[in-house]
Structure 1
Amino acid sequence: MDWMDSQLNDEQKLAVKSIVHGKHGIPYLISGPPGTGKTKTIVEAIFQILEHHPTTHILVCGASNSSADTLATRLSRKLGSHALFRLNDPSRPMNEVRIGLQPWCHHENGLWALPPIKDLLSKSVIVTSCVDASLLFSARCTNAALSILEDHFTSHLHSNAHTPPPPFPTRQHFGFLLIDEAAQASEMELCIPLSVVAPAPTFYRTGQPIPAADLPHVTICGDTKQLGPRIESADCRNHDMDVSLLERLFERDVYKNSPFSRKAMRMQRLAKQQPVIGHKRRKNGTVEERHPVQGISTPFCNLTKNYRSHPAILMLPSTLFYEDTLVAYAAPEVQNSPLRGWPALRTSDFPFLFVGKTTPEEWTDQRLSYYNSGEIGEIISIVTGLLGKSEPTAPYFLPAEMRGKLLASEISVISPFREQVWRVRQALRTLGLAAVDVGDVESLQGAENRVVIVSTVRSSSRFLAEDQRMNRGVIFEAKRFNVALTRAKELLIVVGNADVLRVDPWWKLLLTFAMRNNAYIGPPITSIDRASVDAFSRLEEEWNLKHATDKVKKTPHQSKATLRPEVVSYPSSSAGTATAGGSTPESLGAQTIADEEYMPGEGEDDDEGDTTQGFVIAGSLVREALQEDFDFDI
């Protein structure tokens, strides 16, 4: 293929080829975790369809108007208004569509409208939201309706010519349907565009089914581990109406039990049958690309390369939600961000921090929404510190040499409660920091920023049952939890009450993760073992291995015993840092081996610049890596 986008990786190219040339007979699914280029893949697929199937027509849908606008904007860079049409509902405000996109739309008398049917049918690509695709159904611009119309027309012509008509219509008008962000739409909403491209169940004249080769190709793309459709009714949620069609399809055996599923790839890696999809460790601890044999006949694709976030930010989401398959491919300016040197971080090169606050929450509007004044104050202190506007004695003070490297608009604050959002926004505006992006989890899904601060608000467990009933908050809400953690590119900060959050197994794992990486500040946490290796991901393993290797190379006469996987080396405790009740590697049953010296190789540094004081290495995979890198006998 002659690629329009030369930056596509091999996974994305495989997905595009499968969409363009695959004959699956079932929907083709794309699983795209945050920052893996889902929309980029869909856009390239559309360009390639037009290149290889120039006579076909494509219906492209987004779960919302904003996602449809994003698709149309990217397509408009290559397609003129004669080929591309952005369909809007007449009730949509005119000023909601940006000026640059309006030439690809049609309006009459100040309202969005359908163009004449001849013009509509001539468009190669129609982009709309799933709900607004109903306009095509109302206009009878569907594959089924157009096939019946064609049948009547050709039957009349052939009866006059005394020749038999063809047994089937020449082709379906819409040969392809592509739906982006499908996990955010309800199953009923996705049924609308599906009904537009669906052919008549049997051919009108003969009663025979349409041949499989003539069926339109359907591609459904999204992330089932992020927020799904918002269903207000508790009864509907109890009947799984908040489960998207994409999530339901991925539970079917043909997708779920495939050897290329995320779960299968993880199990194969753990069984040492083959490395995780697309990756093989080199001797020096880095990774090289390797792709399993997966052809265009496989009816789905898992995108694994994250171009958004620092590896430390991906560690927990990767293992909790994506079967430990994510790989950090962020740009060097992200992975080597100057924010790694922020003094508030407890561990160098680990841009994650949990700030413990125990101040009580307060409510407004008869407990319809909540806010936490203590967390608001902490957030203001963090933001002003990061922007270099705090006093030198402030806890988040930024040294002079680091100032000016972060703008207010590059910081986002996320909270699940609208009252907290409003009060944080007001407090920042009072300080002239209105450019800081503040919103709830739903409004920031799909967004990203250099720095993200998450305010959990909840500080009393007595409201948790009510939160669950009302589908709010971030406790016992795994998808909302995942979205909040995956917006950050260079620095993620969570502010909350650890003792309340730990009742949720997801949050308990995050607290464990923070503790073992020395990324927690605040009151001591009960019942959290900082020696635990729960949710220990491959990314965390590789990060620890890299920093352990660097530490050995920088320290002359380093003993191998410090690299023993069972040994847990703890940072020296300081005020405000949670401890593990005095546990030591010896008390945990750590073993030692003979002290054989490791000397740095020729040209290796011997400086003391690494401030990492502790690390955790665990598991047989790490042992294997140590054997490869250092030729140990373990």
Structure 2
Amino acid sequence: MGDDGSSVCQVCKEYIHDLGHNNTVNHRFHFTKWAYNEYRKALVNDRHGIELKIEVKKVNNFHYDFRNIKGKYVIKVTPEQLRLHNCTITFKCKIKNTRKDPIFVTNTNVLHPSHYFDIIHDNCFGDDESTFIKIAPGHVYPFKVTFTTDVLSCASYKIPLSCDFQTCDNKDNFTIVRTFLTIIADNITVEEEKTKSPFTSQPWKDVYTNPTTKTTKYTDEYPVPGNLKRLLYHGLQKFDNMSETDENNLDQIRWCLQTLTPQNYNQYWHHVLWLEEQGQSLMLSKYNMQGVTMKIKNDDVLLLEVPGLAEKRPSVIVGDFIRIRLTNDHTAYQGFVCKVNDTTVEISHLDEDIVEYVANDPSTEMDVSFMLGRVSFERMHRAVDILVRTGMVTKLFPQGQFQVKHNTAHKLSDSQYFNKSVCKNGDQKKAVDKILNSTHDFPYIIFGPPGTGKTVTLVEAILQIKKRTKKKILVCAPANSACDMLALKLKEHCTNEELIRIHSSTRDMPSIPEELKTYSNIEDDEFMRIRPDQLKPYRIVVTTLVLVGRFTGAYQPDCIFIDEAAQASEPETDIAIALLDKGKQVVLAGDPKQLGPMAIKSAEKFGLGISLLQRLMTDCDIYQLNRRTGNYDSDFITMLRLNFRSHPDILSIPNELFYHGLLQPKSKEAKRDPIVAVAIYPTIKNKSQLVEGSAVEFCSISSKEKREGSSPSYFNLFEIKMVVEYVKALHNLKLGPAYKVRADQIGVVTPYKRQVYKIKEALKHCGFADVEVGTTESFQGREKRIIIISTVRAQHSLLLHDRKYNLGFVKHDQRFNVAVTRAISKLVVIGCPPVLRTDNKWTKYMDLCSEHGTYFGNRFMADNQQFREEVIHRTRRFKHVDDQFNHE
């Protein structure tokens, strides 16, 4: 139900606000598509003595890959074959009457308007449909369906054809449907071989586990309570056969989780974290492996091959634990992940019995269960308890207005800034001044939209505090990459006796920048464990939020800076804040309009997907924009407004949608880059053709996404092909030596890990391994001269009942914002307009490209009222659909 008591239409998946909803064009359109898909299997059958046969007209004796799959006629051609056929494929259609009486063909039509398919009759129907075609018994009526396109790129096109019939006595009328699918493919495997996956969702029951031989200092202080496991398993929702105790517990938990307050802070987060842990464990169990074999390495280490490891499905890191058993045995052995390779993991510290078993018979089939690490959960649980116990939690709930005493003890002249660009930027300068001269202990927020110099501001403030005070400074971020970037900038003004970058011993050593190693807990290429007392000499400590929990209660900084704070969940941020005494300083830097913390849906519902920074900016008046003045209260928050990254055209849509139009594009680099003025798509077709372009470009693809087996990760082969074509075209652009496009200047962003993997492989095969390819998450905080976005989700059938496209990447504001704001000079989006137009953000982008004349590729019919009414009209001829609609 909606907030106003409205119900949801099961066809449109939208709220019904009035009684006339069923008569709206929108509802009738979605009902028509639902009914067509419901009865499609029946409609493709020949019946009542009428046969509808399809052949392909051959030209120049070309061999076609042409087949009939249950009424769907699929033809595959290369772009070159299509070009030699004048860009036209002709399907020869024959209606044969095997009845004893004549039959009338009352209508033939494709079921929706199309730029590509046409029907050709030698004997045309009358305009008023009063002229029917009569087919005598035993006779055949021929006509043609032609497919024509001037877009010779890899794509697929699908459309249904309907033929309506009526008997002479008017007692029966019926419809037969055929679907045409034309696939244009060049050196690309459209159907991939599906291999059996070793992953199962089989839970392990009644299994005794022999512990690992590795000693661990961690103890579980906050395990999931046994009496709550059933409730957490069901996502804190009611379920069948609940006991009275379960119902009472559920009522109490729901009452606690109504609103987050300082009074229920720790209990609230304990339950939400247990919910998240239970959900993650359940998801991980989907990767349980059955009937696999292992190899022995170095006498006591087992080598396990894990499909999907490169895609982090499952996500396995050094330090995780894995359980192993003989297939279906009730005794398991816990091992330690000591190394993660591209396709294998190495498991050590196993009981010698299981190692000996594998050594004696390597063909022995094993079952594998991946175990969820609990260290991060334990540290979050402990942190929220500490904040409540010390009273620090009240500082995370500022209410009302506060009078702030202004301190001018550290008034900086322009010559005193470490980075001279800061003193020329009013917003950055203001933020540094307020942080350096802070007189309150509420969190200070640096609101840093893309490309506004958030990290530069943060580093300047840290260095000024280091120079002008005796405070000890802790610098954290959720991810290693952000910590590395901060440490690299700070080390330019710090000795390795003042600054330390602490890494986890489970981190991959090659991922650490070489110039940071002398500032790190690394000696002779080995990680050294740092004791809390060893931190005392350092003025600045840099590490991740989870890792700093190792020092809780033993290390007390005077101020904490948390970068990318909008990406961390509130309990994760609490790990660092819990190190502070009351009255100490917290600075949060980030952008709540970009990607937030990841959480399972049930925990996300209770706020685990919202960062502390976002909650403060949403719920607390002192952090909110004053709509009357258009400003924030600089005593508590500074918004950085000058964007030094992106071309104005790239910035225009996110600025309008997410930042109230307050961002000001200032990138001189982007404006003078000649690549802005060149459209890339035309050069793919004709390398010598230079067409005027802009910073934004859209390439329309007609295709269909795929999945391999039961994998949840989608990929799109035709978009992969187009990404490669764009990279080749960019590489071949003649822009002069200073502006020649290098592979490392190109980034490819795509939402699905399977697409990432396949694009990487395709680019590597073509010699472009230096092009960076990653998910939206991996590009947060990054920038590239050129960004290509492959949106993946597509559908070449415009009659699919497409409410399913209310999906993550298309509908997710923060992912859209991150994806489109990575580019400096050129942003190219490759996608399927019918899917993308289900969301206004992508619609705005495509419309912007149309305005600039940089909308290229396949043409799709506009999904407007006229199109919808035409689909309703054409499909209402179906007796099944018409009857169902009238019945409704």
Both structures adopt the same fold (TM-score exceeding 0.5): yes
Deviations 1:552-599 (A, max 9, x none): xxxxxxxxxxxxxxxxxxxxxxxxxxxxxxxxxxxxxxxxxxxxxxxx
Q: Which residue of 2 aligns with 1:377?
A: 721
Structure 2 gap segments, 5+ residues each: 1-411, 683-690, 865-888
Measure the CA separation in 1 of the matches of 2:711 and 2:620.
44
**8 Å CA contact retained: 1:92, 1:112:** no
Measure the CA separation in 1 of the matches of 2:769 and 2:530.
40
Counterpart AA for 1:179: I
Query: Is 1:387 paired with 2:755?
Result: no
For 2:564, which of 181, 185, 196 is the aligned residue?
A: 181
Query: Is 1:339 paired with 2:675?
Result: yes
4+ long deviations beyond 6 Å: 400-404, 461-468
Indicate how the Cα distance of structure 1 residues 241 and 465 shifts in structure 2: closer, same or farther if over 3 A, else same: farther
**8 Å CA contact retained: 1:416, 1:441:** yes
**8 Å CA contact retained: 1:106, 1:115:** no
**8 Å CA contact retained: 2:834, 2:863:** no
Counterpart AA for 1:4: F
Q: Which residue of 2 aligns with 1:219?
A: 587
Measure the CA separation in 2 of the matches of 1:181 and 1:349.
34
Deviations 1:406-454 (A, max 9, x none): 1111111111112222222222122111111111111121211111110
Identity in percent: 32
Counterpart AA for 1:498: P
Query: Is 1:57 paired with 2:472?
Result: yes
Counterpart AA for 2:426: D
Q: Which residue of 2 aligns with 1:409?
A: 744
**8 Å CA contact retained: 1:417, 1:473:** no
Counterpart AA for 1:299: F
Q: Which residue of 2 aligns with 1:230?
A: 598
**8 Å CA contact retained: 1:415, 1:441:** yes
Indicate how the Cα distance of structure 1 residues 464 and 226 shifts in structure 2: closer, same or farther if over 3 A, else same: farther
* Cα distance, 1:81 vs structure 2: 1.7
* Cα distance, 1:510 vs structure 2: 2.0
Query: Is 1:424 paired with 2:759?
Result: yes
Q: Which residue of 2 aligns with 1:129?
A: 544
Q: Which residue of 2 aligns with 1:598?
A: none
For 1:15, which of 424, 431, 438 is the aligned residue?
A: 431
Q: Which residue of 2 aligns with 1:313?
A: 650
Q: Which residue of 2 aligns with 1:353?
A: 697
**8 Å CA contact retained: 2:477, 2:543:** yes
Indicate how the Cα distance of structure 1 residues 518 and 96 shifts in structure 2: closer, same or farther if over 3 A, else same: closer
Q: Which residue of 2 aligns with 1:574?
A: none
Measure the CA separation in 1 of the matches of 2:467 and 2:434.
15
* Cα distance, 1:102 vs structure 2: 2.0
Query: Is 1:252 paired with 2:629?
Result: no
Q: Which residue of 2 aligns with 1:113?
A: 529
TM-score (norm 1): 0.65
Indicate how the Cα distance of structure 1 residues 423 and 3 shifts in structure 2: closer, same or farther if over 3 A, else same: same
Q: Which residue of 2 aligns with 1:497?
A: 832
Q: 1 or 2, which has the higher strand percentage?
A: 2
Query: Is 1:45 paired with 2:45?
Result: no
Counterpart AA for 2:665: A
* Cα distance, 1:516 vs structure 2: 3.1
* Cα distance, 1:70 vs structure 2: 1.2
**8 Å CA contact retained: 1:375, 1:457:** yes
In structure 2, the residue corresponding to 1:122 is in which secondary structure? Answer: coil
Higher alpha-carbon Rg: 2
For 2:581, which of 198, 201, 226 is the aligned residue?
A: 198
* Cα distance, 1:519 vs structure 2: 2.8
Map 1:571-610 to 2 at 5 A.
none
Measure the CA separation in 1 of the matches of 2:579 and 2:735.
60
How many residues align structurally?
436
In structure 2, the residue corresponding to 1:113 is in which secondary structure? Answer: coil
Measure the CA separation in 2 of the matches of 1:142 and 1:463.
58
For 1:517, which of 820, 839, 852 is the aligned residue?
A: 852
Indicate how the Cα distance of structure 1 residues 386 and 512 shifts in structure 2: closer, same or farther if over 3 A, else same: same
Measure the CA separation in 2 of the matches of 1:362 and 1:382.
22
In structure 2, the residue corresponding to 1:475 is in which secondary structure? Answer: helix
* Cα distance, 1:513 vs structure 2: 2.6
* Cα distance, 1:512 vs structure 2: 2.7
Q: Which residue of 2 aligns with 1:24?
A: 440
Deviations 1:442-484 (A, max 9, x none): 112121111111001111397977776xxx7521111111111
For 1:439, which of 746, 758, 774 is the aligned residue?
A: 774
* Cα distance, 1:400 vs structure 2: 7.7
* Cα distance, 1:504 vs structure 2: 1.6
Measure the CA separation in 2 of the matches of 1:512 and 1:175.
51
Measure the CA separation in 2 of the matches of 1:28 and 1:87.
25
Deviations 1:292-317 (A, max 9, x none): xx886x20000011111111100001
In structure 1, the residue corresponding to 2:575 is in which secondary structure? Answer: helix
In structure 2, the residue corresponding to 1:80 is in which secondary structure? Answer: coil
In structure 1, the residue corresponding to 2:592 is in which secondary structure? Answer: coil
**8 Å CA contact retained: 1:183, 1:224:** yes
Q: Which residue of 2 aligns with 1:240?
A: 607
Indicate how the Cα distance of structure 1 residues 91 and 330 shifts in structure 2: closer, same or farther if over 3 A, else same: same
* Cα distance, 1:59 vs structure 2: 1.1
Measure the CA separation in 2 of the matches of 1:385 and 1:120.
52
In structure 1, the residue corresponding to 2:587 is in which secondary structure? Answer: strand
Q: Which residue of 1 aligns with 2:554?
A: 141
Measure the CA separation in 1 of the matches of 2:498 and 2:440.
27
Counterpart AA for 1:319: E
For 2:494, which of 79, 88, 93 is the aligned residue?
A: 79
For 1:34, which of 446, 450, 456 is the aligned residue?
A: 450
Q: Which residue of 1 aligns with 2:793?
A: 458
Indicate how the Cα distance of structure 1 residues 422 and 306 shifts in structure 2: closer, same or farther if over 3 A, else same: same
Measure the CA separation in 2 of the matches of 1:237 and 1:56.
36
* Cα distance, 1:256 vs structure 2: 4.7
**8 Å CA contact retained: 2:480, 2:544:** yes
Measure the CA separation in 2 of the matches of 1:180 and 1:303.
14
In structure 1, the residue corresponding to 2:754 is in which secondary structure? Answer: helix
Deviations 1:500-535 (A, max 9, x none): 111122222222333333331234454479xxxxxx
**8 Å CA contact retained: 2:680, 2:729:** no
**8 Å CA contact retained: 2:698, 2:849:** yes
In structure 1, the residue corresponding to 2:811 is in which secondary structure? Answer: coil
Q: Which residue of 2 aligns with 1:68?
A: 483
Map 1:154-165 to 2 at 5 A.
none
Indicate how the Cα distance of structure 1 residues 236 and 344 shifts in structure 2: closer, same or farther if over 3 A, else same: same
In structure 1, the residue corresponding to 2:660 is in which secondary structure? Answer: coil
Counterpart AA for 2:515: G
**8 Å CA contact retained: 1:57, 1:175:** yes
**8 Å CA contact retained: 2:679, 2:694:** no
Query: Is 1:5 paired with 2:446?
Result: no
Structure 1 gap segments, 5+ residues each: 144-173, 200-214, 269-275, 278-293, 389-397, 530-634
Indicate how the Cα distance of structure 1 residues 221 and 463 shifts in structure 2: closer, same or farther if over 3 A, else same: farther
In structure 2, the residue corresponding to 1:474 is in which secondary structure? Answer: helix
Indicate how the Cα distance of structure 1 residues 52 and 342 shifts in structure 2: closer, same or farther if over 3 A, else same: same
Measure the CA separation in 1 of the matches of 2:721 and 2:484.
37
**8 Å CA contact retained: 2:476, 2:562:** yes
**8 Å CA contact retained: 1:107, 1:114:** no
In structure 1, the residue corresponding to 2:547 is in which secondary structure? Answer: coil
**8 Å CA contact retained: 2:471, 2:539:** yes
**8 Å CA contact retained: 2:521, 2:528:** yes
Deviations 1:169-196 (A, max 9, x none): xxxxx22111101011111110000000
